[in-house]
Amino acid sequence: MQPIRTFNVSPFLPDQLQPLRKLAYNLHWDWNVETKDLFRRLDRDLWESSRHNPVLMLGTISQARLQEVAEDEGFLAQMERASRQLDEYLKERTWYRKQRGLGSSQSVASGETQEVNGKPQECFAYFCAEFGLVDCLPIYSGGLGVLAGDHLKSASDLGLPLVAVGLLYQEGYFAQYLNADGWQQERYPINDFYNMPLHLERNPDGSELRIEVDYPGRTVYARIWRVQVGTVPLYLLDTNIEPNNPYDHDITDHLYGGDLDMRIHQEMMLGIGGVRALQALGIKPTVYHLNEGHSAFLILERIRKLIQDEGLSFAEAKQVAQATQLFTTHTPVSAGFDLFPPDKAMYYVGHYANIFGLSREEFLALGREDISNLASPFSMAALAIKTASFINGVSQLHGEVSRVMFQGLWENLPLVEVPITAITNGVHARSVVAKPNQELYDRYLGPSWSEKGAEDPLWDRVASIPDEELWRNHERCRSEMVVYVREHLQKHLRDRGASPAEVAHAQEVLDPGVLTIGFARRFATYKRANLFMRDIERIKKIMRANKDRQLQFVIAGKAHPKDMPGKDLIRQIIHQIREAGIGDQVVFVPDYDIYLARFMVAGCDIWLNTPRRPREASGTSGMKASMNGLPNVSILDGWWDEADYVRTGWPIGHGETYDDPDYEDEVEANALYDLLEKEVVPLFYNRDSEEIPRGWVAKMKDAIKLNTPYFNTARMLRDYSVRGYFPASDRYFTMTTNAYTPAKELASWKRRLFERWYDIKIEDVDITAPPELMVNQAVAVKTLINLAGLTPDDIQVELYQGSVNADGQIVNGLPTVMNYQGTDEHQRSIYTADVIYSSSGLQGLSLRVLPKHENLSSPYEPGLVLWA
Ligand SMILES: *Cc1c(COP(=O)(O)O)cnc(C)c1O
């Protein structure tokens, strides 16, 4: 039955309870223990059955219960406190304003580009295909989404003028359950937007605010929903509306759903639609941050706008867009990037080539890694990199891997100089630290611990937390996790129609007093979830060696619906558990999500991670565990490679990589068994007369003290701001002054540079050095360069020195800028410099020319280097 009319019916709240509505619609409740508690207190059962969704709760709670709490003074007092805390929170976000030398606070989404203390207002737009904020908003699949969610929470904490853009999927990311054989089944919950913490953006006349995006042969419309994350608005596009055709309704149906064509449809909506949505909302970003390449089409739309609205040429428009764009890559394998066949790319977005005045091949070259290969695909990562002025990986090791992967995009540039840097990921402390631990840290460290950097003296106070309190707290977290796991498991077994005996038995799995190892993450095969069961007899022996020194495992994670090897891995684990008869001690908990993750990272004793190095770009669940005092046991990969892995846990191996995966598994599984046997189990069970494992607690404190301040999105956002957002935003203001004059000048300077660059000649290099050189002995170098019509202001000449490896290449080279000394009688420019070698051995020297201009984001931006 089709309705003849639909209404959005809001719950009736008694006057005294009005603040509940405000609290429910700002996700700040997720990281404020007082507010979260308030909703739990409002109706504990409804809190659980609504999937911790306060908006749905307010919509379904009985009027009688509302009347009851409206007269409950305790409840009202707590509500007032929570309400005041939210108001204060929204007012007092000061880090950003202090950094930028601004005055009192101001709302980001107010639209107009106002002047604040003489400075125009800036705005950082953050694009991502998924956001993992709270479990009642299932529009994320795993680590990327949770990271993006934490990015917004910390941006809010720091008061950054950040707005975010994504897609609102009609079907939530799937709920997982296992059939009797252990094979993953997927169920897609339908998201009921009107009962979620979402605001529909409207025009002043009350109608829905809509944007349009051109697709081949038709226009697709989208409406815009807003999620309020503290001070940060997240705008989500929704195409499930009339008059879109049924196919287009489905563009925002599934996260990463459908085939390649659907993928392009989604990415066009995210990138192109996202830019249009911000414009429709009156928001004028000064910086665009692409979190992974899915949104990279946005660059096309930005350039189009600059050409058609601002009257710039393609080169000028690209200059402005690039100067203000950041790109973060999250995968260490090229298979992880979106690649589109050239014809497909042209079919969907080729109309931009006409607007830009580019030929087919010139246009495709924007997204090609190898522009000389006309069959090569259009890569979203290449597009994002070529049009960004700040590019980063998500851990130091991943930065290195990314430089190798994309070195080809910078011809002739030594690997160490490839301008891809790293900002190590973090997690949002107030979201992932369990409530009793937050209260403990608040008490002993002070309330600002969640945002303070490692240099702050408050971290020394971790030592003053009494061992007993920390340990009792932790044991409480473990018990709570065990209780939750049992209930959760029972519910799933009942839903699956399991036998009453099976359901009853789930009440007996795990022992709340036993050393518990947690492993939970997406089930991609490279993460090797079953490595610890490689030698089942050995792990059984360790688990049961001694009645008083047992060991148990809690495992969780979803495989991507199309990842058959990942699903097979889950089934194998289930089968292995059954065959070995260890079902009480090794438990696979279905339907991993943010909520379950938070129990596990606080309630386990060890957090295990066994990826194949260097496949784990960063990994973040281990950081969550650390903040709750869990030591990590992990392969040295991603973030763990740069942590203090001796004091805050145990490393498996020493960072080796292997050619033979089977041998790798063998060696690393054995290393894990040895660690468990010789280190982990003995330390955990070594109790004093008060039953406290003092040595273990010391490691817990190190984990809290050393990892919380660093692997934290507060630090991460400060890094992105200072290294990425602020300089890019400054470039925006530079580029746009006087009707884009500097951008136009830079673009025409670049054109001249490209025209003449290949005629530059290094004509003579004169090195005065004896054949046997001593350490610290100066060598004078003089060179004559024909600048081909460029001036000494346009270029930088550098000596490049370093040791020579077995292949005859200079490694770890160090550049020294040479000094311009005028011209000789043939109008050649003279440059001189001295080099000094501070170490002995075979040392090499080279000389190079790089472009130089004050408005370049870096000398590497034009991609030109001339070597002698
Ligand atoms: C933190 C988190 C992840 C990411 O974990 P990794 O260790 O980075 O793989 C995935 N899913 C959920 C639900 C999380 O909370």
Percent of the chain with pLDDT over 70: 97
Dihedral sign computed on CA atoms, order 66, 72, 74, 78? positive
Confidence of residue 427 (pLDDT cuts 50, 70, 90): very high
Q: Are strands 339-340 and 378-379 parallel, antiparallel or unpaired?
A: antiparallel
Q: Encoding tokens for residue 256?
A: 């990463």
Give the closest residue to 594 by CA, choosing from 141, 58, 34. 141
Confidence class of residue 803 from pLDDT cuts 50, 70 and 90?
A: confident
Ligand 1 close to Cβ of residue 521 (< 6 A): yes
- Taking Cα atoms as reference points, which of 512, 589, 517 lies closest to residue 557? 589
User: In which band, very low, low, confident or very high, does the pLDDT at 110 lie, cut at 50, 70 and 90?
Assistant: very low
Q: Ligand 1: distance of its center to the CA of 589 in Å?
A: 15
**Model confidence pLDDT, tens digit, residues 19-38:** 999 999 999 999 999 999 99
- Give yes or no for residue 617 CB within 6 A of ligand 1: no
Which of ligand 1's atoms lies nearest the C-alpha of 593?
13
Taking alpha carbons only, the member of 718, 721, 736 closest to residue 284 is 736
Q: Please, are residues 552 and 585 in contact by the beta-carbon 8 Å criterion?
A: yes
> What pLDDT shows up at residue 119?
62
Task: Tell me the per-residue pLDDT of 660-673, one tens digit each, with 9 for 90 and over.
Answer: 999 999 999 999 99
Residue 632 Cβ < 6 Å to ligand 1: no
> Residue 670: which of 542, 568, 562, 561 has the closest Cα?
542
pLDDT at 108: 47
Substitution site in 521, 632, 633 for ligand 1 pocket (most atoms within 8 Å of beta carbon):
521
Assess whether the C-beta atom of 148 lies below 6 angstroms from ligand 1. Answer: no
* Average pLDDT rounded to a whole number, residues 396-421: 95
793-797's contacts with Cβ under 8 Å and 24+ in sequence apart are 793/852, 794/749, 794/753, 794/851, 794/852, 794/853, 795/760, 795/849, 795/850, 795/851, 795/852, 796/849, 796/850, 796/851, 796/852, 796/859, 797/831, 797/847, 797/848, 797/849
Residue 778 reports pLDDT greater than 90: no
The confidence band for 9, taking pLDDT boundaries of 50, 70 and 90, is low
Q: Which amino acid is at 41?
A: R
Sheet with 810-817, edge to edge strand ranges: 810-817, 795-804, 843-851, 866-867
* Phi, psi of 541, deg, nearest 5: -65, -45
The pTM score is: 0.96
Q: Is the CB of 589 under 6 A from ligand 1?
A: no
Could you tell me if the CB of 611 is within 6 A of ligand 1? no
Ligand 1 pocket member 593 (CB < 6 A): yes
Give the up-direction half-sphere exposure of residue 247: CA atoms within 13 A in the CB hemisphere: 12
Q: What pLDDT does residue 335 have?
A: 78
257 lines ligand 1 (CB under 6 A): no
What is the chain's percent helix, strand, coil content, to nearest 5? 45, 20, 35
Q: Whose CA is nearest to atom 11 of ligand 1?
A: 142
| Ligand 1 center to 491 CA (angstroms) | 23
Q: What is the 3-state secondary structure (H, E, C) of 135-162?
A: CCCCECCCHHHHHHHHHHHHHHHCCCCE
The CA 425 to ligand 1 mean position distance, Å, reads 12
Instruction: Tell me which of 52, 135, 139, 146 to substitute to probe ligand 1's pocket, judged by most ligand atoms within 8 Å of the beta carbon.
Output: 146
For residue range 202-225, list pLDDT tens digits in order: 999 999 999 999 999 999 999 999
Indicate the pLDDT class of residue 112, thresholds 50, 70 and 90.
Answer: very low
Per residue in 577-593, pLDDT (tens digit) is 999 999 999 999 999 99
Paired sense of beta strands 761-768 and 843-851, if any: unpaired
Tell whether the model's pLDDT for residue 1 goes beyond 80.
no
**pLDDT top residue among 237 and 807:** 237
Report the percent of the chain where pLDDT is more than 90. Answer: 88
Residue 478's pLDDT is 98
What is the mean pLDDT of the segment spanning 439-466?
97
Q: Is 143 in the pocket of ligand 1 (CB under 6 A)?
A: yes
> Residue 785 CB: number of other CB atoms within 10 A?
26
* Range scoring the smallest mean pLDDT among 84-88, 92-96, 750-754: 92-96
Q: Would you say the CB of residue 592 lies under 6 angstroms from ligand 1?
A: yes
pLDDT tens digits along 182-192 = 999 999 989 99
Least confident range of 118-122, 240-244, 277-281, 354-358: 118-122
pLDDT in tens, 332-368: 888 788 999 999 999 999 999 999 999 999 999 999 9
* CA 384 to centroid of chain Cα atoms: 16
Torsion of CA 374, 376, 381, 383, to 10 degrees: 10
Give nearest CA residue, ligand 1 atom 15.
594
Contact present, 650 and 635 (Cβ < 8 Å): no
SS3 800: strand
**Predicted pLDDT of residue 840:** 82
Atom of ligand 1 nearest to the CA of 594: 13
Instruction: Report the half-sphere exposure of 603 (CA within 13 A, side-chain side).
Output: 25
Please report, for residues 103, 722, 726, 735, the alpha-carbon distance to residue 99 in angstroms, rounded to integers and kept in the order given: 11, 9, 9, 22
Q: What is the per-residue pLDDT across 652-662, written as a single tens digit (0 to 9) for each?
A: 999 999 999 99
Give the pLDDT band (50/70/90) at residue 837. confident
For 484-494, write each residue's pLDDT tens digit: 999 999 999 99
pLDDT at 411 over 50: yes
Ligand 1 atom closest to 638 (CA): 8
81 pLDDT higher than 90: yes
Pick from 228, 755, 766, 700: which is nearest to 472 by CA? Answer: 700
Pairing of strands 795-804, 843-851: antiparallel
pLDDT at 226 over 90: yes
Residue 109 has pLDDT above 80, yes or no: no
Tell me if 437 CB under 6 Å of ligand 1.
no
Q: How confident is the model at residue 423 (pLDDT cuts 50, 70, 90)?
A: very high
Which ligand 1 atom is the nearest neighbour of the CA of 621?
7
How many Cα atoms sit within 13 Å of 624 on the Cβ side?
31
Q: Report how far residue 281's alpha carbon sits from residue 233's, in angstroms, rounded to the nearest whole number.
A: 11
Residue at token pair 């087919």: 360
- Token representation of residue 149: 């969610």
Single-letter residue type at 415: L
For residue 525, pLDDT over 50 is answered with: yes
**What is the number of the ligand 1 atom nearest to the C-alpha of 624?**
1
Give residue 522 CA to ligand 1 midpoint distance, Å.
7
Q: pLDDT-derived band of residue 469, with 50, 70 and 90 as boundaries?
A: very high
Given this model, what pLDDT does residue 16 score? Answer: 92
Is the CB of 638 within 6 Å of ligand 1?
no
How do residues 504-515 score in pLDDT, each as one tens digit? 999 999 999 999
Taking only Cα atoms into account, the Rg of the chain, rounded to an integer number of angstroms, comes to 29
Residue 323's nearest CA partner among 362, 287, 297 is: 287
Cβ–ligand 1 distance for 556 under 6 Å, the answer no
Ligand 1 pocket, 621 CB below 6 A?
yes
| Pocket residue to mutate for ligand 1, from 621, 637, 641, most atoms within 8 A of Cβ | 621
The two beta strands, 551-556 and 287-291, are unpaired
